[in-house]
Amino acid sequence: MNNVIILGAPGSGKGTQGKILAGHLGIPQVSTGDLIRAAMKQGTPLGVKAKSFYDQGHLVPDEVIYGLIQEILDAPASREGVLMDGFPRTSPQAEAVDRLLKAKQAKVDRVILLEVDETELVKRLLARAAKEGRADDNATSVTQRLKVFQQQTAP
């Protein structure tokens, strides 16, 4: 298996670089953010639960994410490994990933950290807001998401 985590602040390019890398490695790129956006769009129970957290730029509660992570790692498409984009994002989530992989006699093989200056991050996220209209790409949520990254993900 080839399990890779791509880490970085919002706007650092995890999605963009992750896609290229996953293509090279021949493994699926899985983004919890994308899965949450799809769930919200479809109005599933997970989507309904996630919405208020998501819109304000807060993390969706870990217990919502655990089920998602388990499903991802158990999916047939993940048997050769997976490129994780947007998770783990907290220490408990990181422990969950380790635990679930260990149960498959697998481990995290590589971790890539994308480091980008905060002024550049804000610039990119607000530019994306104008283009894609993501609900959490407004000035208030962007500030909140950068704070969440420093406080909850960076450690």
Q: How far is the CB of 105 from ligand ADP (least distance, A)?
A: 24
Q: Which two tokens stand for residue 148?
A: 């969440």
Q: Contacting ligand ADP (CB under 6 A), which of 3, 27, 29, 57?
A: 57
* DSSP sequence for 89-115: -SHHHHHHHHHHHHTTT----EEEEE-
Task: Decide: is 86 part of the binding site for ligand ADP (CB under 6 A).
Answer: yes
How many CA atoms, within 13 angstroms, populate the side-chain half-sphere of residue 104? 20
Task: Decide: is 18 part of the binding site for ligand ADP (CB under 6 A).
Answer: no
Q: Which residue is nearest to ligand ADP (CB)?
A: 33
Q: Contacting ligand ADP (CB under 6 A), which of 4, 59, 97, 101?
A: 59
Residue showing tokens 């790409």: 137
Task: Decide: is 96 part of the binding site for ligand ADP (CB under 6 A).
Answer: no
89 given a catalytic annotation: yes
Q: Which two tokens stand for residue 106?
A: 């697998």
134 given a catalytic annotation: yes
51 given a catalytic annotation: no
Contact (Cβ atoms closer than 8 angstroms) between residue 15 and residue 85? yes
Q: Which of 76, 44, 81 shows the shortest CA–CA distance to 60? A: 44
85 burial class (0-12, 13-18, 19+ CB within 10 angstroms)? Answer: buried
By beta-carbon proximity to ligand ADP, the closer residue of 41 and 105 is 41
Q: How far is the CB of 61 from ligand ADP (least distance, A)?
A: 7
What is the set of active-site residues? 14, 89, 128, 134, 145
Q: Please report, as ranges, the residues that interact with ligand ADP according to CB under 6 A.
A: 10-11, 31-33, 36, 53-54, 57-60, 65, 86-87, 89, 93, 136, 145
